[in-house]
Homo-oligomer: A and B are copies of this chain.
Amino acid sequence: MTDSVLPFPPRDQLPGKVYLIGAGPGAADLITVRGARILARADVVLHDALVTAEMLELCPQARKIPVGKRSGQRSTAQVLINQALVDCARQYSLVVRLKGGDPMIFGRADEELTALDAAGIEYEIVPGITAALAGAAAARKPLTRRGIARSVAFFTSSTAPNQPERVTLPNCDTLVQYMGGREAIATARWLLSHGHSPTTPVVIVENISLRNERVREMRLSELEQGLSDCEGPVLVMIGEALAPRPGN
């Protein structure tokens, strides 16, 4: 039997394995221990724009490929990211797809996993700290609170893409809007017009876990005025669980 008739490539030429890893909110030490260990062994790392330079110092040995999407900046289309992942898995044995936050929440993991499935490439997912958890920690505000808040919703836009007039917000006790900067006014208006009190506590966290992190507390009536001075990614948290604690 010669090489040319081998039905499959030898073991060491099989496609590599892809790890979808959640980088967490930004600070390099808010990745999981598992994520950091895999990064330190990676051959290649395809990373979002939100992944910091400090985080990439965890994988000095790896080839780094930025595939970031960020509003207002030039970005890589999702289909090209999917293809790059598959191509990398055919060239390298340990491929990391490093995504800001957690891969399974607002991460479009589904499209990347579908592409890997179609190409027969093995993968594993390592969760990450999603912005809501890091934002709550930074603001020292719980998202649930006994007797006050027993459910929490994470959502992005407050409008349906094809029906901008049909706004419906989650009915959970605590609401967390990701990328809520521009959307915050519509969110506040909807809540106020649906019986929420103007004094409902609101906490805004910008640049979560980074050096320029900023936490602001306000009321729903103020949120309706907009967040004109926000820079960078903004997390908007709304609900009675976020009320000041006694003595604070």
Contacts and interface: CB of A to CB of B under 8 A. Distances in A.
Interface of A: 22, 24, 27-34, 36-37, 102-111, 113-114, 117-118, 123, 125-130, 133-134, 136-138, 140-146, 150-157, 168, 170-172, 241, 245-248
A4 B163 CA distance: 72
Contacts of A24: 32
Contacts of A245: 110, 113-114, 117
A106 B168 CA distance: 25
A153 to B, nearest CB: 5
Nearest to A148: B110
A145 B105 CA distance: 8
A105 B143 contact: yes
A35 to B, nearest CB: 8
A33 to B, nearest CB: 4
Number of this chain's copies in the assembly equals 2
Contact of A34 (B30, B103, B128, B140): B30
Nearest to A106: B144
A137 B141 contact: no
A42 to B, nearest CB: 16
20 contacts: A29-B34, A30-B33, A31-B32, A33-B33, A104-B141, A104-B143, A104-B144, A105-B133, A106-B144, A107-B144, A109-B142, A110-B241, A117-B245, A117-B247, A125-B138, A127-B136, A127-B137, A153-B154, A154-B154, A168-B171
Given A31-B33, A154-B154, 5 more contacts: A108-B146, A117-B246, A117-B247, A128-B133, A152-B155
Nearest to A140: B125
A111 B28 CA distance: 30
Given A105-B152, A127-B136, A172-B153, A30 B29 contact: no
A134 B106 CA distance: 15
Given A111-B146, A114-B246, A141-B104, A127 B172 contact: no
Nearest to A24: B32
Nearest to A118: B247
Nearest to A58: B33
Contacts of A113: 140, 142, 245
Contacts of A145: 110
Nearest to A208: B127
